[in-house]
Chain A
Amino acid sequence: MAVMSFFANPHRFMAASKWPAWGFTLLGAALIAFGVWKGLIAPEDHQQDERARMMFVHVPAMWLSLFAYAFMVGASFISFVWRHAIADVAAKSAAPIGAVFTAIGLMTGSIWGYTTWGTWWEWGDARLVSVLVLFFIYLGYIAVWQAMETPQKAARAASILCLIGAVNIPIIHFSVEWFAVLHQQSTFMTTDDRATAEFKIPMYISALGYLALFGGLTLMNMRAEILRTRAEMLMQRRQAAD
């Protein structure tokens, strides 16, 4: 609570976030570079085939697409209950980044699916379909921010939508699972426990990189948003003075 009320002041947030924004972004880029090098360039030192290298890009993107949404739900809740100005900005700033992670995850997953299952898309798989719906929820959320006239109303409406989406995603997941059973399609996804340690460690490093990049980019977006609000206020003041 103390941290929350401390950062309710945009000036304190701006002062405290300047270096972390750059630091997290650079750290994220470095860790992702390591993960990608390990995944794409390093010699194959495992039993799995080449396709599994996609996992260093795909799995962290999927984790982060959910993490970003969970972050937005938390921020929306804080914004809705306490009308916290920075929480609004945080949820708004995280949305495009989460949407891009979701898109990367969908595209890489689709490519992986083609090489492994022989199909670009499998409607019977609950995970694929719920991630697609998550992507649409991201788009709807971004659209609400853009369509509302005043930022205060947009913040309220967007946080309501974000919380509704959080309820909706598990329901969609289970209904698609039922849909798959109904259509008697074989489930292609099997949990693969054979992933070895030399696979898991670069994947976790890559995931940490994604997480740091998400933090850094979100902070940068938030700073840009606060600066934009300030610039607008200055413009209004100048016009009022003329």
Chain B
Amino acid sequence: MSGSFAVFVRELKLAWSGGGGAALPVGFFAAAASMTPFAVGSDTVALQTAGPGVIWIALALSSLLPMERLFQADLEDGTLDAYASSGIAMEGVALAKTLAHWIATGIPLALVSPILWIMLQGAPEQGGIVAVAALVGSLAFFFFGSIGAALAAGMRRGGLLIALVTLPLYVPTMIFGAATLDAAASGADWVGPLMLTGSAALFGIATSPFGAAMALRTALD
């Protein structure tokens, strides 16, 4: 456990000292969501209708961006080999790395989401709900994405493969998360869908480190 914690601390330090690499998905998120008015039109009602869905698609795609390098860099320079030979469980490595990347990238994504929500003509008082939903949803996206990241770690051009493998895993989170925002916007009960988003995140945290670890051990063979 202490080994996994050391991995976690190392990843966090790397993410915050790595020259802004962790902030890039946030820029992508903002830019992608800002494209909506050009595609949908600047009509307020149209933007309000499209808003929840656009934010969730942009959040899912932004969560995919860090996945290509999540394990690949450590596999290439031998760090994963060092972890494996020092007896740290690969499950712990997968959990620690994914969690650290979520803290470095996922939390900023969630913090930006209320601003995008207001840009898309959402009501400002619902910004808090949007941030909480994006926090929980990005946690689910990162953990489900870690399976695809581990599978593609050994490939030179694994980026597109990660998207193809991971997006089917994103479907339940996508449904629940967008439903949370839809419900909040229309004044319906948003706690239920938010709880279901949370259950998707917990399921991802509980299961995906095992899948990712299996794939990483294959890549290390």
With A133-B171, A161-B165, A164-B211 given, name 13 new contacts (CB 8 A): A139-B164, A143-B161, A143-B164, A143-B165, A149-B154, A156-B214, A157-B215, A157-B218, A161-B151, A165-B168, A175-B175, A178-B175, A178-B196
Which residue of chain A has its CB nearest to the CB of B158? A147
Question: How far apart sit A192 and B137, CA to CA, in the bound complex (Å)?
Answer: 39
Which residue of chain B has its CB nearest to the CB of A129? B171
The answer to whether B168 and A157 touch across the interface, beta carbons within 8 angstroms, is no
Question: What residues of chain A have their CB less than 8 Å away from a CB belonging to chain B?
Answer: 129, 133, 136-137, 139-140, 143-144, 147-149, 152-153, 156-157, 160-161, 164-165, 167-168, 171-172, 175-176, 178-179, 182
Question: How far apart sit A153 and B165, CA to CA, in the bound complex (Å)?
Answer: 16
Which residue of chain A has its CB nearest to the CB of B160? A143
The answer to whether A171 and B164 touch across the interface, beta carbons within 8 angstroms, is no
Residues of B within 8 A of A149 (CB): 154-155
Residues of B within 8 A of A164 (CB): 147, 169, 211
Question: How far apart sit A136 and B157, CA to CA, in the bound complex (Å)?
Answer: 19
CB of B71 within 8 Å of the partner chain: no
Question: What residues of chain B have their CB less than 8 Å away from a CB belonging to chain A?
Answer: 147, 151-152, 154-155, 157-158, 161, 164-165, 167-169, 171-172, 175-176, 179, 193, 196, 207, 211, 214-215, 218-219, 221
Residues of A within 8 A of B168 (CB): 133, 136-137, 140, 165, 168, 172
User: Which of A147, A149, A176: most chain B CB closer than 10 A?
Assistant: A147
The answer to whether B211 and A153 touch across the interface, beta carbons within 8 angstroms, is no
Question: How far apart sit A21 and B95, CA to CA, in the bound complex (Å)?
Answer: 45
CB distance from B168 to the nearest CB of A (A): 5
The answer to whether B171 and A153 touch across the interface, beta carbons within 8 angstroms, is no
Residues of A within 8 A of B221 (CB): 152-153, 156
Describe B's contact surface by its main secondary structure: helix
Which residue of chain A has its CB nearest to the CB of B215? A160
The answer to whether A140 and B171 touch across the interface, beta carbons within 8 angstroms, is no
Which residue of chain A has its CB nearest to the CB of B217? A156
Residues of B within 8 A of A129 (CB): 171
Question: How far apart sit A157 and B164, CA to CA, in the bound complex (Å)?
Answer: 14
Describe A's contact surface by its main secondary structure: helix
The answer to whether A175 and B176 touch across the interface, beta carbons within 8 angstroms, is yes
CB distance from A111 to the nearest CB of B (A): 24
Residues of B within 8 A of A133 (CB): 168, 171
A153, A176, A178: the one within 8 Å of B218 (CB):
A153
The answer to whether B158 and A160 touch across the interface, beta carbons within 8 angstroms, is no
The answer to whether B161 and A147 touch across the interface, beta carbons within 8 angstroms, is yes
CB distance from A79 to the nearest CB of B (A): 12
Closest 4 CB pairs of A and B: A156-B218, A175-B172, A140-B165, A140-B164
Which residue of chain A has its CB nearest to the CB of B183? A182
CB distance from A171 to the nearest CB of B (A): 6
Question: How far apart sit A26 and B215, CA to CA, in the bound complex (Å)?
Answer: 39
Question: How far apart sit A180 and B133, CA to CA, in the bound complex (Å)?
Answer: 21
Question: How far apart sit A179 and B180, CA to CA, in the bound complex (Å)?
Answer: 11
Known: A153-B219, A160-B215, A164-B147. A147 touches B175 (CB 8 A): no
Residues of B within 8 A of A165 (CB): 168
Residues of A within 8 A of B147 (CB): 164
Question: How far apart sit A152 and B168, CA to CA, in the bound complex (Å)?
Answer: 25
The answer to whether B154 and A153 touch across the interface, beta carbons within 8 angstroms, is yes
Q: List 17 A-B contacts (CB under 8 A).
A: A136-B167, A136-B168, A140-B161, A143-B165, A144-B151, A147-B155, A149-B155, A152-B221, A153-B219, A156-B221, A157-B151, A160-B214, A161-B151, A164-B169, A172-B171, A172-B172, A175-B171
Which residue of chain B has its CB nearest to the CB of A137? B168
CB distance from B196 to the nearest CB of A (A): 8
Which residue of chain B has its CB nearest to the CB of A176? B175
Residues of A within 8 A of B151 (CB): 144, 157, 160-161
CB distance from B192 to the nearest CB of A (A): 9
Question: How far apart sit A165 and B148, CA to CA, in the bound complex (Å)?
Answer: 12
Question: How far apart sit A152 and B161, CA to CA, in the bound complex (Å)?
Answer: 18
Question: How far apart sit A144 and B211, CA to CA, in the bound complex (Å)?
Answer: 15
